[in-house]
A and B are shown apart, each in its own frame.
Chain A
Amino acid sequence: MTPSLGAQLSAAAPLILMAGGIVLIMLLIAARRDHRAVAQLTTLGFVLTFGACFLAHPATDLTPLLVIDTYARFAIALIAAAGGVTVPLLYAYLGHYDGYREEMYLLLLLAAFGAMVLVCARHAASLLLGLETMGVALFGMIAYPVRRKRPLEAGIKYLVLSAAATATLLFGFALLYAATGSLHFATLGSILQAASAGDARGLVLAGLALIWAGFAFKLSLVPFHLWTADVLEGAPAPVAGFLATVSKGAVALLLLRWLDATGLALAPGLAAALAVVAALSILVGNLAALQHNNLKRLLAYSSIAHFGYLLVPFLVLGATAHEAVLFYVAAYTVMTLGCFAAIAVMSGSEAHDDADHLYDYRGLFWRRPLVTSVFVPMLLAQAGVPLTLGFLAKFYVLTAAVERHAWWLALAVVVGSAIGLYYYLRVVVVQFLPKPGMRPEGQWSEMSIASGVALALLLALLIGFGVWPQPLAAGIGRAAAALH
């Protein structure tokens, strides 16, 4: 049954709002450049989109390509929230930038829009559309400070590798299409089942493997993780935060839809390989992070480890696995964004590079206590300390693993977390150590207040939902139920 046009339009309200916002801002920039107005409008766009997600609707199909259900609305709300928090950070970061600043917001909106399309996708075509819209916009965002070497290098690296990954994905879909004649998630599952029993088994398996390789690149899982540290190090700090959270989170949320359609049961070898990938990501991510004094690289490796943890519920796929994935992505978004936000506040887009060396943070608590009082909880949350979202995320993942008796994966999570403590604590404690000649610094300005609001918001989410998770848990329960 096709819903009426009105129902379709109102269900698609978040996407329409986003698209409208993009056009509006593009026209505004063409007419008159005004950094503040553009930032404000962008924020408004994200806030409206976020709000539109809370309008109750039954699950609605928009063309064969997209579906807007509770799950999609939850994901869109998360992306909009992450985008909304990124705006004030960018505003402060670009405050002293001497080129055109306004296009950054356009790119941000485009990337967020791509991510939103991605989480609504139920067809390989819309999947690729969303992925590419997001990827191309992100490329622009990473390389935005064009006169600095590292962002340019990072941008080109991301462009080339991301395109290669998309090509792999595309080829995988082509193989599946050759075997089944379908690209629609809803029908793909059953057709795959039949096809893999017949002559096309080789095609199906090769296709699935290629698709997973493409996803693994986007999620920066070992062994497809090599781009992560370089790109996140080179990208401007607010962009790095957005890249690490939204682009990876949206792909993870899409992957859950994909997995529900196709499952892993078709290819037991693939499931075993992915278990190894998860364990390797946890170990390699954590061990590599130990080696680094560059904060952005350290966070990049820690994010590799996080996606190793996140892969665990995907693999076990028990009754609570969907909730675990959603919760982990939400928690990861808050705490990683928070860390990069703190780095962004400490950096500026002047000629020199971001403040990403560990030494830059020595004695920060005594110099800029407010930044530290956000940064430290974010790091502790990543380490899994209770009363933060980070602990609850680990709790969900471990529950999902225990529920399906995945003891080895649970053990990998425990070991990984134990190793992870070391480098998170290193960053934590350095902020309290005395630094010669330190005195309070940083002054209040419109820029610093804007980014302060973003930091405070993230901290409130981290601690608020960490102490009182029931509203989030209930919302996630509803969103996960929409998938079944």
Chain B
Amino acid sequence: MSTTLSPWLLPALIAIPFVGGLVAWYAERLSLTWPRWIGLLSMSATMLLALWIWSQADVPGVIPAHGTPAWLIEFRADWIPRWGISLHLGLDGLGLLMILLTGALGALSVACSWREIQQYVGFFHLNLLWNLAGVMGVFMALDLFLFFVFWEVMLVPMYFLIALWGHSSHGGRSRVYAATKFFIFTQASGLLMLVAILALVWLHKENTGQWSFEYTDLLYTPLAHWQEVLLMLGFFVGFAVKLPIVPLHPWLPDAHSQAPTAGSVDLAGVLLKTGAYGLLRFVLPLFPNASQDFAPVAMALGVVGILYGAKLALVQTDIKRLVAYTSVSHMGFVLLGIYAGSALALQGAVVLMLAHGLATGGLFVLCGELYERLHTRELGKMGGLARRAPHYATALMFFALASLGLPGLGNFVGEFLVLTGSFPVSPWATALAATGLILAAVYSLYVVQRALHGPAATDAPVEDLTSREKLMMALMMGALLLLGLFPQPVIDLARGPLVQIAYWYQQGVPTP
């Protein structure tokens, strides 16, 4: 029953990685293994806590469209009363799924750095865990100021992850360059969003005489159409950079390819999802009419992203860069689904977010492992891995198939729902988007063929997966299979909020 769940669970979800990070930093003095275990434990603890909340919470199947959002757990405390800012956290089915994903991929990020990170281990885990704590906050914040704070807080540790533990590709750009580019893109767009938030809050104040950054207060702010359009654009740019949406994506390939494995997993698996989450949680409900008007553009951008990302993935020779561009392509589907706006499409987008997190996370881990073994990420210098490292090859094959949307794995469910949900809204865009699936098959199989088959570039023996790596891969594969074969519990968990958002998006937000 939801009544038994303490509101303090929500700050705990943020505090566990936060404190874990501090402890891990300090524990470096004791031994280099301690920070790793502490990181793993704290991320597993958050994931288990989220699972426990799922098992205990009373998930409403339907939230009345006219009602206010229904939170499974809500936490509220005063923060800056002068501006009507409070520490207001809330968790619904959508947020819970994202928290679960964050916990799972967080644990994976720690596990995959076990051998890769040998320098400044404590400080590495501090940054990794603080980044994840910020992400947790983003998925729960219901006060727009607090949301923005978390939104920015997750950037700084990510900047350090890339800048300090990244790879400098030879002849290419340095990791510091990539990290700075990432930071400037996201921070500048974030400031635009801040201006939009402030404008919205100010309009609310003009109406009611009260300063408030409260999500549920701002939801019902009456806006003139032009105001709604401008504010929507401000928010949209902030989230579009994170997602990323095509003209705003240049930071992504650099950041991904220079980041350490954990950073890539974290970026692709979790950070990109904050953009999609922001669109779902804030843009559609706060500005339904403007979003409706903007939908054709957004859906077109989604389709462009799908095709452009896939096209660029096809011509990459750096395996990590290739995977990075596939993210752009997959996020195009998410964008398409979000702006199609039917309940079915939104559910598809959410399932796809989860599946993409797991599949791309897995692929990045595999890229990292490959780099540890071969010290190269060039596809041309691989080949023949299927013979040389059969377990590794199996795992890569599995995640490549997941990424191309093989039925039975999570991505298929997501993409299928997105396309089915979008078709009635925009048949042409959907049809074009579907061709992206063909390209996905091409680039995925291209990786498999170049890396695993054909003549080997060198005869040097390649170490196969260690038991730690096998365990990681097995868990990820299991999760993807579960999501592909039994997606219903996940869909049920998020149905309430998603149906409500879909209704708001189509009909506008009714005053309660």
Residues of A within 8 A of B (CB): 380, 383-387, 391, 394-395, 398-399, 402-403, 410-411, 413-415, 417-418, 421-422, 425-426, 429, 432-433, 468-470, 473-474, 477
**Given A387-B149, A414-B195: A477 and B82 within 8 A (CB)?**
yes
Closest residue on chain B to residue A473 by CB atoms: B82
- The interface residues of chain A lying within 8 Å CB-to-CB of B183 are 421, 425
- The interface residues of chain B lying within 8 Å CB-to-CB of A410 are 195
Partner of B159, one of A384, A414, A425: A425
- The interface residues of chain A lying within 8 Å CB-to-CB of B80 are 469-470, 473
Interface presence of B156 (CB below 8 A) = yes
Q: Are A432 and B191 in touch, CB under 8 angstroms?
A: no
| Per-position 1/0 for B73-89, Cβ under 8 A of A | 00000111111000000
Closest residue on chain B to residue A400 by CB atoms: B198
- The interface residues of chain B lying within 8 Å CB-to-CB of A469 are 80
Q: For the complex, what is the distance from the CA of A468 to the CA of B79, rounded to whole Å?
A: 7
Partner of B198, one of A402, A417, A421, A429: A402
Q: Could you tell me which residues of chain B, from 157 to 214, have a CB within 8 Å of some CB in chain A?
A: 159-160, 163-164, 176, 179-180, 183-184, 187-188, 191-192, 194-195, 198-199, 202
Q: For the complex, what is the distance from the CA of A394 to the CA of B190, rounded to whole Å?
A: 13
Q: Are A429 and B163 in touch, CB under 8 angstroms?
A: yes
Interface presence of B65 (CB below 8 A) = no
Q: Are A417 and B188 in touch, CB under 8 angstroms?
A: yes
Q: Are B187 and A387 in touch, CB under 8 angstroms?
A: no
Q: How far is the CB of A107 from chain B (nearest CB, A)?
A: 38
Q: Are B188 and A386 in touch, CB under 8 angstroms?
A: no
- List 16 A–B pairs whose Cβ atoms lie within 8 Å, in order of A's numbering: A384-B191, A385-B155, A386-B152, A386-B153, A395-B145, A398-B194, A398-B195, A399-B198, A414-B188, A414-B195, A421-B187, A426-B180, A429-B180, A432-B163, A470-B82, A473-B82
Beyond the given A391-B152, A399-B83, A421-B187, please list 14 additional residue pairs across the A-B interface where CB-CB is below 8 A. A384-B187, A386-B149, A387-B153, A395-B198, A399-B198, A399-B202, A402-B198, A402-B199, A417-B187, A417-B191, A429-B163, A429-B180, A468-B79, A469-B80
Q: Could you tell me which residues of chain B, from 132 to 157, have a CB within 8 Å of some CB in chain A?
A: 145, 148-149, 152-153, 155-156
**Given A469-B80, A470-B81, A477-B82: A414 and B152 within 8 A (CB)?**
no
Q: How far is the CB of A109 from chain B (nearest CB, A)?
A: 34
- The interface residues of chain B lying within 8 Å CB-to-CB of A394 are 191, 194
Interface of A is mostly: helix
Q: How far is the CB of B355 from chain A (nearest CB, A)?
A: 31
Q: For the complex, what is the distance from the CA of A469 to the CA of B80, rounded to whole Å?
A: 7
**Given A425-B159, A432-B164: A402 and B180 within 8 A (CB)?**
no
- The interface residues of chain B lying within 8 Å CB-to-CB of A391 are 149, 152
Q: For the complex, what is the distance from the CA of A410 to the CA of B145, rounded to whole Å?
A: 18
Q: Are A473 and B184 in touch, CB under 8 angstroms?
A: no
Partner of B191, one of A387, A418, A422, A477: A418
Total A-B residue contacts, Cβ distance less than 8 Å:
81
Q: Are B176 and A395 in touch, CB under 8 angstroms?
A: no
Q: How far is the CB of B125 from chain A (nearest CB, A)?
A: 15
Partner of B176, one of A385, A417, A429, A470: A429
Q: Are B164 and A395 in touch, CB under 8 angstroms?
A: no
Closest residue on chain A to residue B189 by CB atoms: A418
Q: How far is the CB of A391 from chain B (nearest CB, A)?
A: 7
Closest residue on chain B to residue A396 by CB atoms: B83
Q: How far is the CB of B80 from chain A (nearest CB, A)?
A: 5
Q: How far is the CB of B244 from chain A (nearest CB, A)?
A: 17
**Given A432-B160, A470-B81, A473-B83: A422 and B180 within 8 A (CB)?**
yes
Partner of B194, one of A387, A395, A418: A395
Q: Are A403 and B202 in touch, CB under 8 angstroms?
A: yes
Q: How far is the CB of A243 from chain B (nearest CB, A)?
A: 29
- The interface residues of chain A lying within 8 Å CB-to-CB of B149 are 386-387, 391
Q: For the complex, what is the distance from the CA of A385 to the CA of B149, rounded to whole Å?
A: 8
Closest residue on chain A to residue B195 by CB atoms: A410
Q: For the complex, what is the distance from the CA of A391 to the CA of B198, rounded to whole Å?
A: 14
Q: For the complex, what is the distance from the CA of A410 to the CA of B196, rounded to whole Å?
A: 11
Closest residue on chain A to residue B82 by CB atoms: A473
Q: For the complex, what is the distance from the CA of A399 to the CA of B202, rounded to whole Å?
A: 8
- The interface residues of chain A lying within 8 Å CB-to-CB of B83 are 399, 473
Q: How far is the CB of A4 from chain B (nearest CB, A)?
A: 35
Q: For the complex, what is the distance from the CA of A454 to the CA of B198, rounded to whole Å?
A: 35
Q: How far is the CB of A329 from chain B (nearest CB, A)?
A: 17
Q: Could you tell me which residues of chain B, from 272 to 298, have a CB within 8 Å of some CB in chain A?
A: none
Partner of A385, one of B78, B156, B192, B199: B156
Q: For the complex, what is the distance from the CA of A305 to the CA of B80, rounded to whole Å?
A: 27
Q: How far is the CB of B152 from chain A (nearest CB, A)?
A: 5
Q: Are A414 and B79 in touch, CB under 8 angstroms?
A: no
Q: Are A386 and B148 in touch, CB under 8 angstroms?
A: yes
Q: Are A402 and B202 in touch, CB under 8 angstroms?
A: yes
- The interface residues of chain B lying within 8 Å CB-to-CB of A386 are 148-149, 152-153
- The interface residues of chain B lying within 8 Å CB-to-CB of A422 are 180, 184
Q: For the complex, what is the distance from the CA of A384 to the CA of B192, rounded to whole Å?
A: 13
Q: How far is the CB of B288 from chain A (nearest CB, A)?
A: 22
Q: How far is the CB of A423 from chain B (nearest CB, A)?
A: 10
- The interface residues of chain A lying within 8 Å CB-to-CB of B153 are 385-387
Closest residue on chain A to residue B193 by CB atoms: A414
- The interface residues of chain A lying within 8 Å CB-to-CB of B202 are 399, 402-403
